[in-house]
Structure 1
Amino acid sequence: MSFVITGNPGVGKHTITKEISKLLNLPILDINEIAKEEELFEKIEETNEVDVNKLEKIIKEKIFHPSIIVGHLAPYVLTSDQIKKIIVLRKNPYDLISIYKNRGYSKEKIKDNIGSEVLGVILYDTITRFGTEKTIQIDNTGKSIEKSAEIVMEAIKGKIINEDVDWLSVFSEKNDLKEFFAY
């Protein structure tokens, strides 16, 4: 069984995964790279859509031994029997805005990704798919790579259950919901 690191774009998935891979001496299985190699991305407007059913079948064929699996699509292409634990990295959406701007994301793509992080969409989908027993939420805001890797290792060992993250309250208190949600 494998360990999984997921979360919205920009939260530090790939950076932390590289560190965890070294610490556990496990290979990395990158869901996005597999989707690219298999040419499963389809450009629709400004987003890359993926046929998750095809990707799920391909991933199933590639998981033969324990590994570190990384990607924001993990909750949609993996099954519970393939994983031991799934770590959902979170990051303060205010910090993500500058990351997305530096990546050249459009305003619409920034709004979509910030909205997803504020609402905890990937966390919700992960818990729905894998349950609370296998899902661990970690706030990666303002932490060094080393500190984040240390916390993820503690979570993998079962020493950390969950970190409390509630960006919705933060955005609501600052009256910033209207910036990212149409209503």
Structure 2
Amino acid sequence: MYIITGTPGVGKTSISKLLGSKIDAEIISIGELVEKENLHLGWDDKRKTFIADLNAVSKRLKEIIKLGRKNLIIEGHYAVHVVPPEKVAFVFVLRKDPRDLKKILQSRGYHEEKIKENLAAEILDVCLFDAVNIFGEEKVSEIDTTAKSLHEVMKEILSVIKGEKKPKVGIVDWLGMLEAEGELDDYLKDF
């Protein structure tokens, strides 16, 4: 089983679909599961999203894993918090340059507060930190999707799955990059 995680807008859903078709894996989108099966605590008006019930999601995923296929891809920005670590071969944390990510989130119609929160999460490595903390560096592979095609990203993922490359973290430093370019305050001034 594999997890594909990262800040909203980095390409999780697209990569999961492409990879799933390549390795004949069933894809479970955590966000869709929460909505379809009412695994939430209610609606967050501020963020315009459901508040996932992580315990209920985790319990449901364990049931799906028991019944389901061996080859699963679990996709979502909080997937690392609801999947049993012992069942996971690798966690792929997708990353994207915050300047590009901002444009994607704006094109999706996200409100300004939600964009700021997601950009801060990307800059501060939140998804990567959580993945490494829960699964350990040996299972986590950080992949910069900036200016890469879906096929290029999939090839990187497949090289780890096939054992051709070891998982690697620490490949991007958005905080350092934005600070060096004098843009950090533009992204984190409200935090």
Answer whether TM exceeds 0.5 for this pair. yes
Aligned-CA RMSD value:
1.4
TM-score, normalised relative to structure 1:
0.93
Aligned counterpart, 1:61: 63
Distance 1:25 1:45 in 2: 37
The one-character-per-residue Cα deviations of 1:32-88 (angstroms, maximum 9, x if unpaired) are: 111111223432232222111111111111113321111111111112112111111
TM-superposed CA distance for 1:154, in Å, is 0.7
Distance 2:187 2:114 in 1: 11
Q: Percent identity?
A: 36
TM-superposed CA distance for 1:170, in Å, is 1.1
Pair 1:140 & 2:140 matched: no
Q: Which runs of 5+ in 1 are unaligned?
A: none
8 A contact 2:3–2:80 mirrored in 1: no
8 A contact 1:79–1:129 mirrored in 2: no
Distance 1:37 1:132 in 2: 33
TM-score, normalised relative to structure 2:
0.90
Aligned counterpart, 1:31: 30
Aligned counterpart, 1:43: 43
Match of 1:154 among 155, 159, 162: 159
The one-character-per-residue Cα deviations of 1:117-145 (angstroms, maximum 9, x if unpaired) are: 00110000011111111111110111111
TM-superposed CA distance for 1:96, in Å, is 0.5
Where 1:63 maps in the other structure, the secondary structure is helix
| Structure 1 stretches of at least 4 aligned residues deviating more than 4 Å after TM superposition | none
Map 1:110-149 onto structure 2 (within 5 A).
110-149=115-154
